[in-house]
């Protein structure tokens, strides 16, 4: 799709182990890229993506989609008001329950070949980190 003349922007929603390859292909083709979850697995890859985007004069951004859920927004209100005291630890879990049924098309996330990281929780944990950062 990066080579398609009818595409201006790519929304990269693949497992994060595949983000670098897709993000760099989008940049090389001069396409803007929206990365869901983490930008890339390693900082070096993120810097490479940023450099490639600047060189082509294109925009790129990352979205942590789970920071605007009602539960996360309510937690932020409680923390900001001081109702929770001093926050010293955060534990979260993102599990919409749609990844566990082998009959569903999302089951690829449960296989090492599918998510390329070996475990589903490794693919999901960025949601918890993103939420923790947003709770600040």
pLDDT tens for 89-127 read: 766 665 555 556 666 665 555 555 555 554 544 555 555
Tell me the DSSP string of the chain.
-TT-TT--EEEE-S-GGGHHHHHHHHHHTT-EEEEES-S-SSHHHHHHHHHHHHHHT--EEEE-GGGGSHHHHHHHHHHHHTTT-S----------S-SS-TTSGGGGGGSHHHHSSSSHHHHHHHHHHHHHHHH-
- The 10s digit of each residue's pLDDT in 47-71 is 888 899 999 999 988 777 667 777 7
pLDDT score of 31: 92
Q: What is the mean pLDDT of residues 39-43?
A: 66
Which architecture does CATH list for 9-63?
3-Layer(aba) Sandwich (3.40)
State the first-to-last Cα distance of the chain, in angstroms, to the nearest integer. 37
Q: What percent of the chain shows pLDDT beyond 90?
A: 12
pLDDT of residue 20: 80
Domain ranges of the chain: 9-63, 65-135
């Amino acid at each position: 799709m990066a080579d398609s003349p009818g595409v201006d922007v790519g929304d990269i929603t693949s497992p994060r182990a595949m983000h670098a390859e897709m993000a760099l292909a989008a940049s090389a083709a001069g396409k803007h890229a929206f990365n869901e979850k983490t930008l890339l697995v390693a900082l070096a890859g993120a810097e490479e993506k940023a450099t490639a985007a600047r060189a082509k004069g294109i925009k790129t951004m990352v979205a942590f989609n789970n920071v605007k859920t009602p539960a996360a927004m309510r937690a932020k209100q409680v923390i900001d008001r001081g109702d929770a005291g001093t926050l010293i630890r955060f534990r979260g879990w993102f599990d919409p329950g749609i990844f566990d049924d082998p009959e569903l098309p999302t089951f690829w996330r449960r296989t090492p070949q599918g998510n390329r990281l070996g475990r589903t929780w490794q693919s999901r944990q960025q949601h918890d980190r993103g939420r923790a950062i947003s709770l600040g």
